[in-house]
Amino acid sequence: MFRTDTAVKGFVVTLVTGILAVTFLPLGIAFAVIGFVSEPAAFKPLGLIFVGVGVIFAVVAIVSRRAGKRRDAEEAAARTSRTTAQVLEASLNPYSRVGALSPMQLAVDLAGGRRARTVYVPPTIGWQAGMTIEVAYAPMDPDNFVPVQPLGA
């Protein structure tokens, strides 16, 4: 139900480089074809450069996607413990979205200290300071937490 900032960061890099790849590759192919069959000689090297840049962006998109999924899976696998935590701060940014989820700066009292993280939640979540929520977290890294369900929302 909730996404973490790690999952979204990998997605954004993949999205941007993927868009650039699908822009530069066809443009480069078109310019190269025009350069090889037509008079303007400048189209040939320009097309080949665009194809090269497009291939680089495509490789970066693929590598970034795999790395982002791997990091997110490692974080999720490390979250083996569950507990209740008190919300210290919860500020929702309604002006930014990833799909139907909005980013929330969430700070909780967990494992004897203040732990803060950006989580992506539905805009209907109304957590406030003092509320208790259930979280899953990594015992060796309490900063790696994610809300499981609201108890008092």
pLDDT in tens, 8-66: 888 888 999 999 999 999 999 999 999 989 878 889 999 999 999 999 999 999 999 99
By CB atoms closer than 10 A (0-12, 13-18, 19+), residue 69 is middle
State residue 1's pLDDT score: 63
State residue 150's pLDDT score: 52
Q: Rounded mean pLDDT of 97-123?
A: 90
The candidate with the shortest Cα–Cα distance to 84, out of 135, 26, 34, is 135
Residue keyed to tokens 């980013």:
103
What single DSSP character describes residue 112? T
Please report how many Cα atoms fall inside a 13 Å half-sphere around the Cα of residue 21, on the Cβ side: 14
Identify the band that residue 151 occupies on the pLDDT scale cut at 50, 70 and 90: very low
